Chains A and B, each alone.
Chain A
Amino acid sequence: MRSNRLWVLVGALASSIAVLAGCGASPSPAGAEGLTGDPLVIGVIEDTSGAASFYSQQGVRMIEYAAEQVNRGEYPAEIAALFGTNSRGVAGRPIQLVTEDDGNDPNRAVQAARKLVGAGAKAIITTSSSASTIQARVVCQEEEIPCIASANASADIVKNPNADFVFTISPNSTLIAAVYSSFFKAKGYRTVAFVADSTPSSKAVTDAYRAALEGAGMTVVAQEVIPVGSTDATAQVSRVAAAAPAVVFTTCSSAPEEGLFYKYAGDRLATTPKWGTNNLTLADETVEIAGPAINGAKAADLRSPDNKYSTEVAEGFARAQGGDSHLAWTSLTHWDAVMLLKRAFESAGTDEGPRVVQEIEGIRDFPVAHGQPGYTVSFSAENHNGASARAIVPVVFENEHTVVAKDEQMPQ
């Protein structure tokens, strides 16, 4: 009797370990009924608790939705033509996802990537921050598997060393900063104040924008940092107001701190134009904290309400999720990552990483769900960031929601 109890205990323990060691793998690929091929395992690095969790969690749900749509063979018209009529799975193989949490900690990202490879991942999509991807890409390089940092903005991700197997889809900070430089110059802005948060990603993005704007002849009159976890940003607003910049530029990575700045900037910077990176439109939390004070703020978003492909993906995702109030542009780029991988693996006809990477490098004018209507991405062996300035959609907050800023013409 006692021995039976012991075996039950050992069994329960073993089951628990098996479940925990499963890297968050789905028990069976969703939508894969009837597909007979071996699953194609795609690893996903997520952030469940750090500063990137604001967009990472929705991104993971979007990747799950995209994988399910691929397994079912159901696509919006814009991409269906590319895959043909009978294109369930990846060359008939169901996509199976495995996930690992890095907590937005670059040191944990390497370990997460290794666990995913250990779980059989043939490609990795990262939904955490740029700083995490820069560490995780080393594993992709060593293991020779493609790594897609769909939404990451750091230009350093695709710079060597260790960049042979990593790709980014959305415009990086260098490209957007160049667009902003020309745009601000054309508007006659000569001075700028930066507002960032204390995360490494925010610092990297701020540095990139600062270099570009200074290179374009602008003077940085203030650079303020809001520590993550702050409950007040009055001092930062005061310093920015005292510097009297022609334009304020927010480069936060963490949504609450960005919201906090706009909340306190309401009165004292009411007449100063305020622009944010595309992080500003990512999370509901920014608007919830800022409240009406966010109105009038502008950003270079990567999602257009006029883009039918975006709308179809967003509506399908909302139906699958039972209604999601706000779809971030980052999630659309994760959809694009899954579609790109399907195309590349099918063209390669093999799981071998170097061959798949070669196929991605050969992709031209691939229709994507983010950006302006009809926007496409193209890659090459020299260019692992497939984006162009046509991805950028200037938006303005009105009634605490974004609408296209028709009066702002950003360079294409």
Chain B
Amino acid sequence: MAIHWIDALSAVRVGLMYALLALAYFLFARTTGTINFAIGGYAMVAGLLYGSVVTRVGVPPVLALVAAVVVATALGSLTEALVIRPIAARHRDEFVVVLAIAALLFVLQQLAGMLFGRRAVVARPLTDSAFTVAGQTVGVHDVITIVLSLAVVVLVGLWVARGRSGRMTRAIGDNEDAARALGIPVQRIRMLTASTAGGIAGLAGALAAPQAGLTIQSGVTLSIVGFIALVIGGTGTAYAPLVGGIVLSVLEAGASLIFGSASRDYLMLAAVLLVFAIRPEGLFSTRVRTT
């Protein structure tokens, strides 16, 4: 079956959303060593907030997008301050922290249900404008989504690689005790990273909200796709989530196009199992010099 360019464009747009979610996972994992399954919850809250204030209150979409990102940023910080830090201080077992975060995802789900209702919230896009290319309508919102997502991935990549505080996140991730001994403000950097991760997840949720209705159940779905993108990409570099997100989206779209959408979930499962079996560290892993 011939692949239309609009299929490729959609795969890139969806892949970048997955990449943002995976990047949020990456940042949390980088400094806290924790897989934060509440990432999808932040995205869901931000998406529902964006949709609700735009559609029901009439707030301009750009303002709503900023508000959604700010709220998700706050959720990221609160998770670090109120969940991860205190629990990690009392329990050495990482599993306890992961359990608490999983519980947080369900708390966010219920809170969102009380605040925004349990029905899907359908959001207006950032702009209703569209243009036509070779007989196909392309929404300006889609273009903004692609450009903004790419910009965020590149900026975070540069920050982690070259920024002063960004390099500190790498130091903390590599060896927290050594970083502390070197005088790196571990708590502050962790808080900065958690807030950034929350904000990125919020951006993903708010940009996705106009594509289809988001519900309180969307948090779990978004958490899962973000995690799978992280698993595929690995945690070797800040660009690994980008590769993971795009690979996941292309696999999804390709499976749906070639074998039909009914086969999509089976092929996704097979792909994840394959990555776990052959390259459990993902496509990009951290190289450790042993000599």
Contacts and interface: CB of A to CB of B under 8 A. Distances in A.
Interface of A: 48-49, 53-54, 57, 223-227, 229-232, 234-236, 238-239, 242, 255-257, 259-260, 264, 266-268, 285, 288-289
Contacts of A227: 261, 264-265
B122 A236 contact: no
B213 to A, nearest CB: 4
Interface stretch (B1-9, B27-35, B269-277): B1-9
B285 interface: no
A266 B261 contact: no
30 contacts: A49-B118, A49-B216, A49-B217, A53-B118, A53-B119, A54-B119, A227-B264, A229-B218, A229-B221, A231-B14, A231-B212, A232-B10, A232-B211, A234-B6, A234-B253, A235-B256, A236-B256, A238-B6, A239-B256, A239-B257, A242-B2, A255-B120, A256-B122, A259-B213, A266-B137, A267-B137, A268-B4, A268-B6, A288-B213, A289-B213
B17 A239 contact: no
B79 to A, nearest CB: 23
A255 B213 contact: yes
A238 B119 contact: no
Interface residues of B, number: 38
B48 to A, nearest CB: 13
Contacts, number: 96
Nearest to B211: A231
A238 B7 contact: yes
Contacts of B192: none
B200 interface: no
A256 B212 contact: yes
B118 A268 contact: no
B208 A234 contact: no
Contacts of B14: 231-232
Given A235-B7, A238-B3, 14 more contacts: A49-B113, A49-B216, A54-B120, A227-B261, A232-B13, A232-B212, A234-B7, A238-B257, A255-B120, A257-B212, A260-B211, A268-B6, A285-B119, A288-B213
Contacts of B262: 225
B22 to A, nearest CB: 15
Interface in B107-152: 113, 118-120, 122, 135-137
Contact of B122 (A232, A239, A264, A288): A288
A246 B265 CA distance: 29
B183 interface: no
B122 A235 contact: no
Contacts of B215: 49, 229
B120 A256 contact: yes
Nearest to B209: A231
Nearest to B264: A227
A197 to B, nearest CB: 10
Interface of B: 1-4, 6-7, 10-11, 13-14, 17, 55, 113, 118-120, 122, 135-137, 208, 211-213, 215-218, 221, 252-253, 256-257, 260-262, 264-265
Contacts of B253: 232, 234-235
A163 B261 CA distance: 35
A226 B262 CA distance: 8
B47 to A, nearest CB: 10
A268 B136 CA distance: 8
Contacts of B136: 267-268
A235 B213 CA distance: 19
B184 to A, nearest CB: 39
A289 B265 contact: no
Closest 5 CB pairs of A and B: A235-B256, A256-B213, A234-B10, A49-B118, A288-B122
A230 B2 contact: no
A260 B261 contact: no
Nearest to A231: B211
Given A230-B212, A232-B10, A235-B7, A48 B118 contact: yes
Contacts of A239: 1, 256-257, 260-261
Given A239-B1, A242-B2, A267-B137, A289 B113 contact: no
Contacts of A260: 211-212
A53 B121 CA distance: 12
A226 B7 contact: no
A235 B212 contact: no
A232 B212 CA distance: 8
B201 to A, nearest CB: 15
Contact of B260 (A224, A229, A285): A224
A253 to B, nearest CB: 13
A239 B4 CA distance: 11
